[in-house]
Structure 1
């Protein structure tokens, strides 16, 4: 009798391979989703802490600062002469860019800000007296809830995680 050489895969082998690929893709997509959420949280915390640090530095150095925002990032500036100039050579208060897929919305004194107007750059003023512009910043990725950073005129700031709502400042 002749033996037949079978070539190819059985149905069980094909189903097993498809199942394994499905499991791998599921874990990969979960991992990517967590990374995006972690990036958003880190960026929100960084911005919040930098605003608080700038407020403390402004009081300690007896100089007023400001933060200029665009839809792509932010930078710290200082009033020199009759204009604002970026802080150069400072490792902490350097210019920073948002990750490409991050969206920012901003309110100053309760009014929504447009990032399209080049004449009126959105700024948070941080005065040497400890006062600052009343603001609300919302950071989000496309399919996620927003982190909200708020600040009031007496210099208090707060970071609200997604889903948390609070208009009160604890003293």
Structure 2
């Protein structure tokens, strides 16, 4: 008489291992690096904020600014003959950094002055700039302005 085998066959074990591997890879893909998506979303949020600042500057006859740091930005207003922060600095998602170009030249963002780097005037003019959202060496998105028209997204300025 043959005894009933106790345990699993080799085929059953291999099927279970393959299923666990497939499930683990699906979880890894769904929880993967979101830096690109987060950088693009933050650029969209900041662009909408810039459009609002431009309109508010003209309608209220005020000057507004944007102070930049490598990993944060802060809104400012020119009141009582000096620049005042309107809110605490907004931190960028981890791994995303800002880079600013003014007049074709890279502009360092690590200065300690509490002054804005980009300004919107009540005369409907603003600083001409290129603001880049990077995770070096990758450039995810850029916001550009010629100083006269609305700022816009420019994805053609991406680094290789």
Say yes or no: TM over 0.5.
Answer: yes
Query: What does residue 42 of structure 2 align with?
Result: 43
Provide the C-alpha distance between the structure 2 equivalents of 1:131 and 1:70, rounded to a whole number of angstroms.
23
Task: Within 5 Å, give how 1:4-153 maps onto structure 2.
Answer: 6-7=6-7, 9-33=8-32, 35-88=34-87, 95-119=89-113, 123-141=117-135, 145-153=139-147
Between 1:27-36 and 1:152-161, the stretch displaced more is: 27-36
Q: Structure 1 CA distance, aligned partners of 2:136 and 2:120?
A: 30
Query: Which ranges of structure 2 fall in alignment gaps of 5 or more residues?
Result: none
Show the counterpart of 1:169: none
Counterpart secondary structure, 1:25: helix
Conservation of the 8 A alpha-carbon contact between 1:115 and 1:122: no
- How much does 1:68 deviate? 0.5
Q: What's the C-alpha RMSD, in Å, of the aligned pairs?
A: 2.7
Contact between 1:113 and 1:122, CA under 8 Å: does it hold in 2? no
**Is the 1:48–1:157 Cα contact (8 Å) retained in structure 2?**
yes
Counterpart contact for 1:70–1:122, Cα < 8 Å: no
Give 1:22 deviation, angstroms.
2.2
- CA 24–121 in structure 1, closer or farther in 2 if over 3 Å, else same: farther
Structure 1 unaligned spans of 5+: 89-93, 166-171
Task: State the secondary structure of the residue aligned to 1:60.
Answer: helix
Q: Is the 8 A contact 2:99 2:109 kept in 1?
A: no
Q: Distance in 2 between matches of 1:143 and 1:29?
A: 24
User: How many Å separate the matches in 2 of 1:4 and 1:16?
Assistant: 22
* Alpha-carbon distance change, 113 to 143 in structure 1, aligned in 2, over 3 angstroms: closer
Contact 1:102 1:141 in 2 (8 A): yes
The count of corresponding residues between Structure 1 and Structure 2 is: 158
The structural deviation recorded for 1:135 is: 0.8
Aligned-partner Cα distance in 2 for 1:114–1:122: 13
